């Protein structure tokens, strides 16, 4: 079948064979990744992308309204000779487009290549089925970045900017990127601009520059609660309130951390393991610069205390929803009480 698996797409795009890429379909939910890879394929043709005679850009809806147009464009001889690229954007379930592609797939043009950018086409979608079933076409799925894909993007941007990155900074960066390729590149470029003049990006640079700081600040609040750091809790909580970030996200992050702590504490009590051992073998892995925090928290929270803390958090969720106008003081009071409890446990 004329298709590649998601992890094979980048290698195919490095040297797409003419015999299997007369018509190329790039599709998937990550619009940024689809667009980026389409640009890679377009450059691989060697055509001047700013030449309107060499590169014809069309909208899928326009072809759907006039299906014959795609065939006409593909079989038109270039005014100055040579190959042409027909670049179609925003394809989806247009029947007219699928029918036009079907005719061209059966008898591919000799002097033109067709590049189609589409959204998340499900298996069985007409356009995808046609491309996958022909011999001179190629279907290339584009799904959101996994950790390997994110590392590749990080390496690409850092290499271009001549920068290096500390290991802990890379881990934090990786944890707060992903989803959309264009958004990921945007955050990386912003980080490189922030670190301009340096040779090496540090974890503090990442904390200051990356846009998704809300998730980091929520976890920072949760960590302060777990180890009883009252000053850190107060400053982090106040900063979150001022930022306008929804406080239910703080509750969610705190409950997630306490749930993880419960599982680790159970492993300690049921299997007689040390805090260091259960933290080192935790699944999913605990980021290495947080391991000391979790080990400290395990020394301050017994299984019984953790159960009561979860009950209090669940009660706070309900109360804050029932009394939206008082949600800030209700949440602050509940979380501060847990922070104080952990602080007392450290002295006991």
Whether the pLDDT of residue 14 is over 70: the answer is yes
pTM over 0.85: no
Contact 320, 314 (CB under 8 A): no
Three-state secondary structure call for residue 89: strand
Whether the pLDDT of residue 1 is over 50: the answer is no
Q: Which residue has the higher pLDDT, 183 or 146?
A: 183
Whole-number average pLDDT of the chain: 86
208-212, 240-244, 250-254, 266-270: range with lowest mean pLDDT: 208-212
- What pLDDT is stored for residue 60 in this prediction? 95
Q: How would you classify the pairing of strands 84-91 and 112-118?
A: parallel
At 103, list the tokens: 């005719």
Mean pLDDT of 149-172: 85
Q: Which residue has the higher pLDDT, 32 or 59?
A: 59
Mean pLDDT of 267-294: 85
DSSP class of 5: -
Spatial separation of the C-alpha atoms in residues 100 and 196, rounded to whole Å: 49
Mean pLDDT of 106-113: 91
Q: How far is CA 110 from CA 19, 67, 86, 105, 131, in A?
A: 10, 19, 13, 12, 17
- What pLDDT is stored for residue 207 in this prediction? 78
Please report which residue ranges of 134-178 form alpha helices under DSSP H.
147-161, 167-175
102-116, 130-144, 330-344: range with lowest mean pLDDT: 130-144
Phi, psi of 178 (to 5 degrees): 110, 180
29-38, 167-176, 185-194, 199-208: range with lowest mean pLDDT: 167-176
Q: Binning pLDDT at 50, 70 and 90, where does residue 212 land?
A: very low
Q: Binning pLDDT at 50, 70 and 90, where does residue 169 land?
A: confident
* All domains of the chain in start order, with CATH: 6-141 (3.40.50.300), 147-209 (1.10.8.60), 213-347 (1.20.272.10)
Mean pLDDT of 71-78: 88
């Amino acid at each position: 079948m004329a298709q590649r698996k998601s992890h094979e797409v980048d290698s195919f795009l490095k040297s797409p064979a003419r015999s299997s890429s007369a018509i190329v379909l790039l599709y998937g939910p990550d619009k940024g990744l689809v667009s980026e890879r389409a640009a890679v394929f377009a450059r691989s043709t060697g055509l001047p992308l700013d030449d309107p005679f060499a590169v014809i850009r069309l909208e899928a809806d326009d072809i759907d309204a006039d299906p014959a147009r795609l065939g006409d464009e593909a079989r038109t001889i270039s005014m100055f000779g040579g190959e042409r690229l027909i670049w179609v954007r925003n394809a989806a379930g247009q029947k007219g487009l699928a029918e036009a592609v079907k005719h061209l797939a059966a008898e591919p043009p000799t002097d033109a290549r067709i590049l189609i950018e589409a959204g998340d086409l499900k298996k069985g979608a007409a356009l995808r089925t046609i491309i996958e079933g022909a011999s001179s076409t190629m279907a290339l799925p584009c799904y959101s970045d996994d950790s390997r894909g994110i590392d590749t993007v990080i390496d690409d941007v850092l290499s271009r900017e001549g920068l290096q990155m500390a290991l802990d900074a890379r881990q934090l960066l990786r944890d707060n990127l992903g989803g959309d390729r264009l958004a990921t590149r945007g955050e990386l470029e912003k980080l490189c601009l922030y670190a301009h003049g340096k040779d090496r990006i540090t974890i503090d640079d990442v904390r200051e520059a990356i846009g998704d700081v809300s998730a980091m600040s929520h976890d920072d609040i949760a960590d302060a609660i777990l180890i009883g750091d009252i000053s850190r809790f107060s400053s982090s909580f106040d900063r979150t309130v001022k930022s306008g970030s929804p406080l239910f996200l703080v509750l969610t992050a705190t409950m997630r951390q306490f749930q993880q702590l419960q599982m680790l504490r159970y492993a300690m009590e049921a299997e007689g393991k040390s805090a260091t051992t259960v933290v080192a073998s935790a699944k999913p892995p605990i980021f290495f610069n947080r391991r000391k925090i979790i080990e400290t928290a395990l020394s301050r929270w017994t299984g019984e205390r953790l159960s009561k803390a979860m009950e209090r958090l669940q009660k706070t969720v309900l109360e804050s929803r029932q009394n939206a106008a008082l949600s800030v003081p209700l949440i602050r009071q509940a979380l501060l009480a847990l922070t104080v409890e952990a602080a007392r446990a450290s002295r006991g």
